[in-house]
Amino acid sequence: MPETYSTDKSFALQLDATDPLKHFRERFHIPTQNNQELIYFCGNSLGLQPKSTRAYIEQELTDWQHLGVEGHLHGKNPWFYYHHFLTESAARLVGALPKEVVVMNALTVNLNLLMISFYRPTPKRYKVIMEYMAFPSDQYAVENQVKFHGYDPFDAIIELTPREGEATLRTEDIQAVIAQHQNEVALIMLGGVNYYTGQLFDMEAITRFAKQCSNDIVVGFDLAHATGNVRMQLHDWDVDFACWCSYKYLNSGPGGTSGVFIHEKHAQNQSLPRLSGWWGNDEKTRFKMQKGFIPQEGAAGWQMSNAQILPMAAHRASLAIFDEAGMEALVHKSKLLTGYLEFLLLNGKRKDFSIITPADPAQRGCQLSIVMQQNGKAVFDTLTQQGIIADWREPDVIRVAPVPLYNTFEEVWHFADRFHSA
């Protein structure tokens, strides 16, 4: 990162000129209005469409058109094996072994399926630790899983709350809660990056501490806002399970398919309960149509239904771009973009706001959450009218996500300029 930033626009242009990833912007469709490209800072809600997506989907439509059911085995990319085409790329994104990852279903479906397997409460160990202000889907899923086992969510769910006057959680405070309840906790279920504040949790330290407290504590993460955004090493960190969506930073289309991680230490544990289906059965015996579920090894054994070929084709197009760019380069640019945005926001004339996303680059990805002290919605609406697509969250937060694959430093400069003038 540069030792100093500058508020001069020429500095942004210089950063763009020397950006080794700048050509990737050309791979995406940038939304326009009145023939002008919009400044799109909403990749943390829905990523932009790669131009290659259409060709990937059309290949499967062509095989469907000409081959019908034979596309399962004789298509250019046989549908019977399609999830395998995604596995290694997905594993690289989250730091996993290929057998620990599978792409299937949608995010909240997978979250519930995984908790059926990994939330196994006992009369003495039944509580779940999760962060306050988790994304609603996570809150609802955990609440209902607790109820399914006959527990009261108000008793069974421990919410991690920031210290008074602070907006984000300190790792040492999370660890203190784990230690306090170590004999009661069955599951820790956190978002890798909190959607509201943009805080990146120290997943490695949290997992290690929980395992030191008790091997009976299971650790899982919802990585919807982390995958494709930050570097992770789920296997090395000894995370038990995780899941994520593909439509935010992974640019795979609205409602896109989901990814699942299950650590290899659980791969052979057939005693783990699961909701099973035909697609998770051993591929070698799948078409024998016999009774008796024989799961595939690893995460693939948690599959239930046929692969979603068209959404997976869109996902495959995006994963190819991530493989080419590499997460190390993307994270490096992400820190530059977000740091530059933070600098411009804090060094402008507007003072009626604060940034609740951690200032430490190691505790965030490419998102800043701006709390407006007054007229926040009016400021947001003005920015929208001026061609900036960001995200408003009640009651007073503007979320801004400069994504390294397709956003530029000049766009960051223009956003800050219009923000201070709005």
pLDDT tens-digit series, residues 6-43: 999 999 999 999 999 999 999 999 999 999 999 999 99
Say what percent of the chain tops pLDDT 90.
Answer: 93
**Would the pLDDT of 141 be above 80?**
yes
Tell me the residue ranges of DSSP E strands in 328-390. Answer: 353-355, 368-372, 388-389
Confidence of residue 1 (pLDDT cuts 50, 70, 90): low
DSSP label at residue 69? G
Enumerate the domain spans of the chain: 9-51+327-421, 82-323
Q: How confident is the model at residue 380 (pLDDT cuts 50, 70, 90)?
A: very high
Q: Please state the rounded mean pLDDT for residues 128-132.
A: 97
- DSSP bridge partners of 262: 241
In our burial notation (b when 16+ CB lie closer than 10 A, e otherwise), range 93-130 reads bbbbbbbbbbbbbbbbebbbbbbbbbbbbeeebbbbbb
Task: List the structure tokens of 366.
Answer: 């490419």
3 falls in which pLDDT band (50, 70, 90)?
low
pLDDT > 70: percent of the chain: 99
Which stretch of 231-245, 289-303, 371-385 has the lowest confidence by average pLDDT?
Answer: 289-303
The mean of the pLDDT values for the chain is 96
CA 134, distance to chain mean position in Å, is 13
The answer to whether 239 touches 221, Cβ cutoff 8 Å, is: yes
pLDDT at 41: 98
Mean pLDDT (whole number) for 275-304: 89
Q: Which CATH class is domain 9-51+327-421?
A: alpha beta
Give mean pLDDT, residues 133-160: 96
Q: Are 202 and 188 in contact (CB under 8 A)?
A: no
Residue 19, both tokens: 């950006």
> What gap in Å lies between CA 394 and CA 158, rounded to an integer?
24
Q: Provide the pLDDT for residue 234.
A: 98
Residue 270 scores a pLDDT above 80:
no
| Domain 82-323 CATH (choose: 3.40.50.2300, 3.40.50.410, 3.40.640.10, 3.40.1280.10) | 3.40.640.10
Whether residue 268 is predicted with pLDDT greater than 80 in this model: the reply is no
pLDDT of residue 4: 84
Is the model's pLDDT at 69 over the cut of 80? yes
